[in-house]
Amino acid sequence: MNADILNLMVFGLAALTVAVTGLLTMVQLELGPLSRLGGHRRWLLAAALGSGVLAFALKLLIIVAVANFPQFVIDPFIEKVALPLQPTATTPPPGPPRYRWMALPESSAVANSPPRAPLRYSWQALPAQAPAPAHNPTTAAKAALGERLFFDADLSRDGTVSCASCHDLYAKAGADARPGASGIDGQVGTRNAPTVWNAAFQSRLFWDGRAASLEQQAVGPLLNPLEMGMPSAAAVEARVRGKPDYVAAFALSFGASAPITLARIAEAIAAYERTLITPDTPYDRFVRGDLAALAPAQLRGMALFQSTGCIHCHFGPNFSAASVFDDRVPLRAFPVGATPYVQRYDLVGDTGAAPAGNDRGVWRVPSLRNVALTGPWLHNGAVSELAEVVRIMAGAQLGRSGRHLVWSGRDRSLSTLEQAALSEQEVSDIVAFLQALSSDRLTRTAGR
C-alpha cells in the first residue's frame, strides 16, 4: 500500500480516538450532569453526538483524500463508469487501421512471443556486393572500362545513343521515365526500359527473361536495329579498336595479348553493371536491425506485402523470383486472372515469353528495388501511377478483386470491373513500403 495513504490512515485513526475520547469526557463530566440524564441515556446522547462527529470526520477524510490523491481515489471509479461507454467492436475506429508494432527479441527468449503470421517468411537485405561468374570476375580496371563503354554514344550507328541514353543512372534511377524506349533515329520501342540498378542480382534479363546473363544481355542493344543499331559485331569492335585509350584499358583489364572482341566489350559492361547495386535503402537498414528505419505506413505495407502474397513472386533480397539467389520459377503468367485492366492497359498485346497464340503473357518476375523511381510501369510502360500497379497486381495476380458492373455512358458499353479488394488504405500502405525499397542516393538524384 502507498505510504502516504498509510500515514493518512494512522493520522486519521489517532484524530478519531482523540475526538471520541473528548466527546465521552464532555458527555460524562459536562452534558450529563447538566441535562440530568442518568446512566445509559448519557451513552445514547454520546452516541448521537459521536455519530455526528464521526460523519463530519469521514467527510473531511474523503475531501482530504480526494484533494491529495486524485489518481488513486478517483481513477478506479472513472474506469468502471467509462468502460461500457467505449465503442463496441461493430463500430470500427475511423482512419487507417492501427497496428501495434513491436520488435521480437533476437535471442531464444521468444517462448511467449505473439503468434506469427500464418505464412512464415524471412526478409533479407541486399548483399553489399553482387556475385560475378567465374569467367568474368569484377575488377576495378574492368569496371572502369565498362563504365566508359556504358556512356559511349559512339557505340551506336549514328553516334547518338549510348546505354545511358535509355538507362539514365542518376536522374531517372537507371531507366528513362518513358513508356517505350527511344533509340536511334527517334525510333520508339514497344517495351519499357527497366532499370539497370541491381540487374546484377537477376538470373534472367529482359522483361521476357530471354537473356541468362548480363554478358549475354549487353550484346542485345548494341546490335538491335531499334536501339543502338550497329550492323555487326565486327563493326562494334572496329569502333572500339579505333580509340587508343580503349586499347590500353582493354590490355589492363584482359591482358596485353587479349584481342578486343564483342564478348570482352560485353564482359566489361557487365562488370560495371555488377557495381550498380543499391543496398542503401530504408528497407535494408530495417532488416539489418535499425527498427526505426521504416515509418508506420511502411511497416503496415510490409506486412501486407507478405500477407496478401506479393512475396510468392517478389521474394528474396532482390524481390524477384528470377534472382541469382533462387531461380526455380523465374517466369510467371501475367495477368493470371481475367480483369478489365487487361483492356484498359493493353496488357496482352505483347505476351512476352508465352508460346505463340497464348491469350495471356508469361513474363520474368521483375525486381521491385527502386520501383517507386522507375515509372511508368509494366512491360509496356502503360501504367503511370504506382498505386494502380499495386491494384492490378492484387487483382490480376492474387485474385484480390470484387466484381462490379460498369456502364460507360461515353461509348455505351457495359463491362464487369474487377475492383481492388484491397482497400485504398492498404494500397497506399503497400506503395509506402515499395518506396522503402528506393536507394537513398537515387531518391536524392531522381526523387520526384
Contact region for ligand HEC (CB under 6 A) — 38-46, 90-98, 134-142, 164-172?
Answer: 164-172
Rounded least distance, CB 167 to ligand HEC, Å: 5
Decide if 353 contacts 320 (C-beta within 8 A): no
**DSSP per-residue codes, 186-247:** G-B-SSPPPP-TTGGGBSSBSTT--BSSHHHHHHHHHH-TTTT--S-HHHHHHHHHT-HHHH
Catalytic residue among 147, 227, 388, 418: 227
Give alpha helix (H) positions in 98-187: 140-150, 163-166
- 228 vs 260 by CB, closer to ligand HEC: 228
Cell 531464444 found at: 108
Q: If binding is defined by CB under 6 A, does position 397 make contact with ligand HEC? A: yes
Q: If binding is defined by CB under 6 A, does position 435 make contact with ligand HEC? A: no
Decide if 335 contacts 341 (C-beta within 8 A): yes
- Which of 46, 169, 199, 294 touches ligand HEC (CB under 6 A)? 199
Give the whole-angstrom CA distance, residue 10 versus residue 89.
46
Give the whole-angstrom CA distance, residue 181 versus residue 411.
32
State yes or no: is 424 an active-site residue.
Answer: no
Q: Which three cell numbers stand for residue 53?
A: 462527529
- 165 vs 287 by CB, closer to ligand HEC: 165
Give the whole-angstrom CA distance, residue 87 versus residue 36.
66
- Of 209-268, binders to ligand HEC (CB under 6 A) are 214, 217-218, 221-222, 227-228
- Of 308-367, binders to ligand HEC (CB under 6 A) are 308-310, 312-314, 332, 334, 336, 361, 363, 365-366
My answer on whether omega of the bond before 376 falls inside 30° of 0, hence cis, is yes
- 69 vs 123 by CB, closer to ligand HEC: 123
- Which of 46, 143, 166, 249 touches ligand HEC (CB under 6 A)? 166
**DSSP per-residue codes, 239-267:** HHHT-HHHHHHHHHHH-TT----HHHHHH
Decide if 210 contacts 219 (C-beta within 8 A): no
Q: Which three cell numbers stand for residue 35?
A: 441535562
- Which of 430, 436, 437, 446 touches ligand HEC (CB under 6 A)? 430
Q: If binding is defined by CB under 6 A, does position 194 make contact with ligand HEC? A: yes
Give the whole-angstrom CA distance, residue 199 versus residue 38.
110
- Of 83-142, binders to ligand HEC (CB under 6 A) are none
Q: If binding is defined by CB under 6 A, does position 379 make contact with ligand HEC? A: yes
Residues taking part in catalysis: 227
Site of interaction with ligand HEC (CB under 6 A):
150, 161, 163, 165-167, 181-183, 189, 191, 193-194, 196, 199, 202, 205-207, 214, 217-218, 221-222, 227-228, 269, 273, 308-310, 312-314, 332, 334, 336, 361, 363, 365-366, 368, 371, 374, 377-379, 389-390, 393-394, 397-398, 430
